[in-house]
């Protein structure tokens, strides 16, 4: 996607007429956070790889541009299918402007170190939801034997990489993915302790195994990678986006709608559904879909003894941080009081002033904690989306609010949700995309 296109999207807004229940069926998109590292991992093989169920979103378009920029053939071959052929990698310097668009650009560092032995990367961009450390990435690369110089850019050379026992000082998803990709072609055994084990990390590991990598410990927080000489090509289908599924469950519940979400992986929903049950949200589950029945009575479930309950995020399998904003918005429509405890990112809750302006009763205690009391009657408002997940939360609030709302900077939402306006219209939502 060109810079002109990005600027064009930045000028778009959503206009939403709220107060209408959603009805119908919708299919979950491929996981954004699974597609991005898997696209980067295609650098590890010189053979062709075809990927299916790839979400056609802004961040994926940027990753494809980054691959093309370093000489890799990466193209859409279908609505949600991408072919990558990294027969040659012509550049080891990542483009600064492209990298500034998203944090996931740093996922190319591990594969480049393993494949070509050198990489020059600028600091990545991404949502401003708090400090997002690169320290675990740099530590992992250094432990594997990379020589690293840090200035305006991160200059790394990995000519003598070797397997190593690595302990990550935080269970960082991207650092785990970077370490796994670098270790896949590194001689010897690499053990990653305190590894992240989110569904998209598992998907990356299984994808690499399908190309010939040797990885043990998937679903746990200790991964063992036995380096191989080369990987081959293959086909892979990106797993469903459990964050999008959770977002749609929330949309259906707070609008009083009847929505069925197809293509889900039930194992990825365990902590999400458990968290939503604290608001009284009920779903019907089958093998590959969930249904949100209509006209649910949302009531906060107090802890034993009548104590105020809380939802707190954390590394998998805890409640996902990416759904904290959505859960908080559901809480505004549930009878009772609940504490939202966002432990991972200190700026994640700063969007709550937008909901307060709509009529929500929220006390922001500090950057990490908010007390929400509901139900509150929300009124349409004009807002700006500061990041992907806050944008989706504002979309939820707008769809259940009285009157019209306008959400600006919807490119933020487009970074994580494919054609969200079109798909919500198919459920009966009154939402239009306009140029400002």
The rounded percent of the chain whose pLDDT value lies above 90 is 91
Q: Answer whether 3-29+240-435 and 32-237 agree in fold.
A: yes
Length of the chain equals: 436
Beta strands across the sheet bearing 382-384: 382-384, 404-408, 12-17, 430-435
Give the Cα separation of 71 and 144 in Å (integer).
26
- Cβ contact 142:100 at 8 Å: no
The rounded percent of the chain whose pLDDT value lies above 70 is 96
- Cβ contact 195:223 at 8 Å: yes
- Taking CB atoms within 8 Å and a gap of at least 24, the contacts of 60-65 are 60/32, 60/35, 60/36, 61/1, 62/1, 62/98, 62/101, 62/102, 62/105, 63/35, 63/36, 63/39, 63/102, 63/104, 63/105, 64/39, 65/1, 65/98
Residue 94 has pLDDT above 90, yes or no: yes
Tokens for 5? 């296109």
Residue of 131 and 367 predicted with greater confidence: 367
- State how far Cα 320 lies from the chain centre: 10
pLDDT of residue 159: 78
Q: Which residue has the tokens 């070509």?
A: 116
81 is catalytic: no
pLDDT of residue 4: 44
Q: Which residue has the tokens 């070797």?
A: 162
CATH number for the domain whose boundaries are 3-29+240-435: 3.65.10.10
pLDDT of residue 345: 83
Q: Angle at which helices 199-210 and 173-184 pack, to 10 degrees? A: 10
Rounded mean pLDDT of the chain? Answer: 94
pLDDT of residue 27: 96
The residues that bridge with 313 in the sheet, in sequence order, are 319
pLDDT of residue 98: 96
- CATH class name, domain 32-237: alpha beta
Q: Which one from 59, 75, 95, 127 is the annotated catalytic residue? A: 127
Residue 11 has pLDDT above 90, yes or no: no
280-330 confidence digits (pLDDT tens): 999 999 989 999 999 999 999 999 999 999 999 999 999 999 999 999 999
53-84 confidence digits (pLDDT tens): 999 999 999 999 999 999 999 999 999 999 99
Tally DSSP H helices, then E strands, for the chain.
15, 23
Tokens for 321? 């941080």
**pTM, rounded to two decimals:** 0.93
H helices of 278-387, in order, are: 324-331, 352-358
List the chain domain ranges.
3-29+240-435, 32-237
Q: How many CB atoms lie within 10 A of CB 220?
A: 11
């Amino acid at each position: 996607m060109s810079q002109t296109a990005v600027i064009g999207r930045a000028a778009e807004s959503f206009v939403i007429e709220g107060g209408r229940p959603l009805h119908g069926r919708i299919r979950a998109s491929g996981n954004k956070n699974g597609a991005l590292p898997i696209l980067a991992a295609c650098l590890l093989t010189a053979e062709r790889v075809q990927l299916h169920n790839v979400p056609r979103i802004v961040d994926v378009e940027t990753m494809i541009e980054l691959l093309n920029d370093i000489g890799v053939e990466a193209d859409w071959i279908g609505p949600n299918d991408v072919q990558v052929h990294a027969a040659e990698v012509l550049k080891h310097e990542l483009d600064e402007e492209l990298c500034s668009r998203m944090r996931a650009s740093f996922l190319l560092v591990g594969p480049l170190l393993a494949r070509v032995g050198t990489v020059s990367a600028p600091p990545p961009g991404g949502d401003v939801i708090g400090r997002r450390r690169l320290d675990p990435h740099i530590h992992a690369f250094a432990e594997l034997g990379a020589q690293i110089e840090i200035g305006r850019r991160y200059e790394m050379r990995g000519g003598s990489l070797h397997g190593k026992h690595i302990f990550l000082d935080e269970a960082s998803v991207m650092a785990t993915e970077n370490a796994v990709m670098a270790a896949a072609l590194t001689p010897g055994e690499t053990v990653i302790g305190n590894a992240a084990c989110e569904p998209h990390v598992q998907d990356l590991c299984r994808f690499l195994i399908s190309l010939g990598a040797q990885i043990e410990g998937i679903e746990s927080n200790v991964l063992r990678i036995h380096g191989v000489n080369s990987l081959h090509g293959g086909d892979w289908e990106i797993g469903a986006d459990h964050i999008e599924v959770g977002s749609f469950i929330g949309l259906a519940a707070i609008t009083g709608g009847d929505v069925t979400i197809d293509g889900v992986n039930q194992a990825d929903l365990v902590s999400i559904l458990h968290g939503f049950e604290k608001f009284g949200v009920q779903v019907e589950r089958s093998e590959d879909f969930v249904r949100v029945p209509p006209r649910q009575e949302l009531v906060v479930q107090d802890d034993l003894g009548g104590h105020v309950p809380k939802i707190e995020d954390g590394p998998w399998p805890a409640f996902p941080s990416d759904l904290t904003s959505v859960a908080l918005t559901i809480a505004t429509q549930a009878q009772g009081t609940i504490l939202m405890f966002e432990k991972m990112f200190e700026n994640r809750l700063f969007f709550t002033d937008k909901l307060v302006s709509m009529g929500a009763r929220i006390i922001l205690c500090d950057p990490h904690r908010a007390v929400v009391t509901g139900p509150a009657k929300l009124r349409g408002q004009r807002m700006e989306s500061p990041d992907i997940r806050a944008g989706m939360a504002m979309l939820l609030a707008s769809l259940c609010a009285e009157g019209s709302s306008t959400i600006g900077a919807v490119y933020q939402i487009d970074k994580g949700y494919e054609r969200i306006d079109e798909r919500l219209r198919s459920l009966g939502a009154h939402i239009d995309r306009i140029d400002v």
